[in-house]
């Protein structure tokens, strides 16, 4: 078992004798996916002929079911079961709200007649076909007793602020109020971001069936261990009576960290009907039935000297949670470590609203927090007449400003400098609205990026068989980010095998536990558990050959020591050889501030007649520890950058304040970037290894690319037009109104 209590020494990943680490290897599961042979949850055929479920959603946001008539639905063709609060089986109570693993909490469905948010399940129809279930669902008649609800963050703040955030979410250093009041130059600005929806390609879906007293659930889940606990707690059965299977996931982005009512309802109906039940959410249902990002209101205050040295920095954030939950958007968190300033204040406050559950979405905290902070830094640079990059360099901290510990590695300045050189930043005119091409105003903007690094406990088992094929088993998931590929590279490099001789078995909760995919900890955590298992296997093989592992060379499918050499297949023997591995975090994260960094650069045009904003090009440079696969890393980074563009220019889930539902609850009206919106876009990586993070010396990357990306676009819009919009997204009406005023 490995534990990160000291920096990681030199190891086979550093040696990289086969050159597999960092290589842009094609996805090992790519052919399966493009030929349709990678089986997703809804495509699974297992356990017998399935019945099909369809969820009836509440059409009010708060109140109770006064009466429900399912008789017409029950008499409809093909219908097998209509489940309501009147006949749903007993389940575990929701929560607990403060559970250590909030994704492992019980989530009862149809447990009472209460309606807590629009779209909550009020009935579940099961029929012989999807079409019959959907048709019958429309026949369920529900009468409600409606209650007034709270649906607007700022209105709730103004009328009856509740201040329910945990005080641990706050930080304070020095005398911010005094320093800000005395600062020669100040910025005091409030930024607002809307509700964001995950919009994964694959809808949430479930196939559930029972084998004796054990439920097998095929679903789309990022965290198999948490899903297992949630199902067990809800159905009130032991965790070992639950198996979660999720080998392929069509996008997660945080929206598949929990499992939802489709899982619980399918499992309950399957037990009652004694046959598999398959349920898929429609795209429209996903907007309310699954989680979303909370809207935020963020106040950023910066105090500086005339030469640009920050003397005071404050970042206060307000977001919402569901009435019955306690999640908050940690939008001020990155401000604690990004820039130096002796006097500091960060806080988070939450209003509980009668909306669906808000939760982690696309880099929770930093993604929206940096929209505000990096816009404010741009405003300060403008006020000081200092280049935005130079302002950031002048406030580069030598130590973590609030933890007062060293950084494990920090190359933010290098990211900014290399990005500026690659992008042609020197051609930027600092005076807004100074570059005009016909009726288009052209401008450039930049922002910094940071995202915390995380390592979690993870286990793995590897087996080398008599054919020299290595199989690695772990309950890791692949949400489209390349887990199968990157883990194959690690195992192949460790054992000196070609990738074709490595097999990954992932996506099954019966396999050795991992933390799953989320929080940018997936590759580092599962990869480190795999690293330890391979290290232990190397030692076993060396002992079988009678040599010291330190003298052994693993390459070309062989173990060589001095003048002795033998194939791994022969050393494995007829029964094969197995080894286990495990990683635990240790205290390196307490001794060193661990972050990934980057710098974004964007050029936009603004049509002075229509207010239309067009991204012309974008370039970002990242420092994220060792890059394990250049191709998958680039894909993750550019995809996240595109999210940043969407967050700034398009995305906005609009709540009807009268009825508490998202008006634009489909992809026709919830706008995300299309191909025409994203022209030339580049991601580059600075060479870096960080021995304080994990034995791979990598850092989390998946979410880094969205952090700050939108602010670069917003800052470019200001440079192009002189229009500063603090209410995201930057839509035409807002641009035109500000252009008219300007």
Before 96, cis peptide (omega within 30)?
yes
Is 703 annotated as catalytic? yes
Distance CA(364)–CA(520), nearest Å, equals: 11
Distance CA(376)–CA(149), nearest Å, equals: 34
Q: Give Cβ neighbours of residue 168 (< 8 Å, ≥ 6 apart).
A: none
**Helix, coil or strand: residue 620:** strand
Strands (E), 487-594: 502-505, 553-555, 558-561, 564-567, 577-584
Sheet holding 553-555, edge to edge: 553-555, 558-561, 564-567
Q: How far apart are the first and last CA of the chain?
A: 63
Distance CA(676)–CA(671), nearest Å, equals: 13
Q: Which residues pair with 681 in a beta bridge?
A: 618
Distance CA(325)–CA(620), nearest Å, equals: 36
Q: Give Cβ neighbours of residue 44 (< 8 Å, ≥ 6 apart).
A: 207, 218, 245
**Which of 208, 228, 222, 204 is closest to 105 using CA atoms?**
228
Token pair 């580092």 is found at 524
152 alpha-carbon distance from chain centroid = 25
Token pair 């399918």 is found at 266
The one catalytic residue among 202, 329, 703, 738: 703
DSSP 141-206: EEEEEE------HHHHHHH-----S-GGG-EEES-HHHHHHH-SEEEEEEEEE-BB----SSPPEE
**Which of 579, 580, 585, 540 is closest to 459 using CA atoms?**
580
304 close to 311: Cβ distance less than 8 angstroms: yes
Token pair 């809800």 is found at 234
Helices (H), 76-165: 130-137, 153-159
Pairing of strands 277-280, 242-245: unpaired
Q: Is 680 exposed, middle or buried (0-12, 13-18, 19+ CB in 10 A)?
A: exposed
Residue 135 dihedral angles phi and psi, to the nearest 5°: -65, -45
Q: Which residues pair with 208 in a beta bridge?
A: 217, 277
**Which of 265, 230, 262, 235 is closest to 516 using CA atoms?**
230
Rounding to the nearest 10 degrees, give the CA dihedral for residues 368, 369, 372, 375.
-90
697 close to 626: Cβ distance less than 8 angstroms: yes
CA angle (190, 191, 195) in 5-degree steps? 140
Helices (H), 247-330: 261-273, 283-289
723 close to 384: Cβ distance less than 8 angstroms: no
For the four alpha carbons of 105, 106, 109 and 111, in that order, the dihedral sign comes to negative
**Helix, coil or strand: residue 741:** helix
Q: Counting every residue, how long is the chain?
A: 742
64 alpha-carbon distance from chain centroid = 34
Taking residue 172's Cβ as centre, other Cβ atoms within 10 Å add up to 13
Q: Which residues pair with 680 in a beta bridge?
A: 617
The residues that are catalytic are 703
């Amino acid at each position: 078992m490995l534990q990160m209590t000291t920096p990681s020494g030199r190891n086979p990943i550093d040696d990289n004798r086969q050159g597999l680490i960092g290589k842009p290897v094609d996805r090992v599961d790519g052919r399966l996916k493009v030929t349709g042979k990678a089986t997703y949850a809804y495509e699974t055929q297992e356990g017998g002929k399935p019945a099909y479920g369809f969820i009836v959603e509440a059409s009010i946001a708060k109140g109770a079911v006064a009466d429900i008539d399912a008789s017409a639905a029950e008499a409809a063709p093909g219908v097998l079961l209509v489940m309501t609060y009147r006949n749903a089986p007993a389940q575990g109570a929701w929560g607990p709200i403060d559970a250590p693993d909030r994704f492992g909490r019980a989530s009862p469905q149809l447990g009472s007649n209460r309606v807590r948010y629009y779209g909550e399940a009020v009935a579940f129809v099961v029929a012989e076909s999807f079409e019959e279930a959907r048709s019958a669902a429309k026949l369920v008649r529900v009468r409600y007793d409606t209650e007034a609800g709270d649906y607007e963050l700022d209105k709730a703040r103004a009328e009856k602020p509740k201040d329910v955030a945990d005080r641990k979410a706050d930080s304070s250093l020095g005398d911010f109020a005094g320093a800000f009041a005395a600062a020669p130059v100040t910025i005091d600005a409030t930024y607002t971001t809307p509700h964001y929806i995950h919009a994964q390609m694959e809808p949430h879906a479930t196939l559930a069936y029972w084998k004796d007293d054990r439920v097998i659930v095929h679903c789309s889940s990022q965290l198999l261990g948490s899903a297992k606990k949630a199902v067990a707690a809800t159905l009130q059965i032991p965790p070992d009576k639950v198996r979660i299977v999720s080998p392929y996931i069509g996008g997660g982005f945080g929206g598949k960290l929990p499992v939802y009512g489709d899982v619980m309802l399918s499992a309950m109906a399957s037990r009652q009907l004694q046959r598999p039940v398959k349920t898929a959410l429609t795209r429209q249902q996903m907007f309310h039935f699954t989680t979303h990002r909370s809207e935020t209101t963020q106040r950023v205050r910066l105090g500086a000297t005339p030469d640009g040295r920050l003397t005071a920095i404050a970042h206060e954030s307000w977001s919402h949670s569901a009435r019955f939950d306690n999640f908050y958007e940690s939008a001020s968190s990155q401000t604690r470590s990004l820039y130096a300033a002796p006097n500091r204040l960060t806080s988070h406050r939450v209003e509980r609203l009668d909306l669906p559950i808000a939760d982690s979405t696309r880099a929770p905290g930093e993604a929206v927090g940096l929209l505000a902070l990096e816009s404010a830094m741009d405003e300060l640079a403008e006020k000081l007449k200092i280049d935005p990059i130079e302002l950031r360099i002048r406030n580069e901290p030598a130590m973590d400003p609030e933890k007062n510990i060293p950084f494990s590695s920090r190359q933010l300045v290098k990211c900014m400098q290399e990005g500026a050189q690659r992008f042609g930043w020197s051609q930027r005119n600092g005076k807004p609205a100074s570059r005009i091409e016909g009726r288009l105003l052209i401008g450039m903007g930049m922002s910094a990026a940071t995202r915390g690094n995380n390592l979690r406990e993870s286990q793995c088992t590897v087996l080398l068989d008599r054919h020299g094929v290595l199989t690695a088993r772990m309950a890791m998931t692949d949400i489209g980010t390349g887990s199968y590929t990157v883990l194959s590279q690690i195992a192949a490099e460790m054992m000196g095998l070609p990738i074709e001789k490595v097999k990954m078995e992932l996506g099954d909760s019966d396999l050795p536990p991992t933390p799953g995919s989320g929080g940018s900890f997936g590759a580092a955590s599962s990869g480190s558990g795999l690293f330890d298992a391979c290290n232990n296997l190397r030692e076993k093989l060396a002992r079988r050959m009678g040599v010291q592992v330190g003298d052994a060379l693993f390459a070309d499918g062989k173990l060589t020591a001095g003048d002795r050499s033998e194939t791994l297949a022969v050393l494995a023997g007829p029964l094969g050889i197995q080894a286990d591995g495990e990683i635990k975090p240790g205290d390196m994260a307490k001794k060193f501030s661990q972050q990934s960094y980057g710098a974004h650069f964007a050029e936009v045009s603004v049509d002075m007649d229509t207010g239309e904003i067009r991204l012309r090009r974008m370039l970002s440079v990242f420092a994220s520890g060792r890059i394990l696969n250049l191709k998958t890393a680039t894909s993750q980074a550019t995809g996240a950058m595109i999210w940043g563009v969407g967050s700034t220019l398009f995305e906005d889930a609009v709540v009807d304040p009268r009825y508490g539902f998202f008006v634009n609850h489909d992809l026709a009206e919830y706008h995300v970037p299309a191909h025409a919106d994203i022209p030339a876009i580049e991601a580059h990586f600075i060479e870096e290894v960080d021995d304080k993070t994990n034995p791979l010396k990598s850092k989390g990357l998946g979410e880094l690319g969205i952090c700050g990306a939108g602010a670069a676009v917003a800052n470019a819009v200001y440079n192009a037009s002189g229009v500063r919009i603090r209410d995201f997204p930057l839509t035409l009406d807002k641009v035109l109104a500000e252009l008219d005023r300007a």
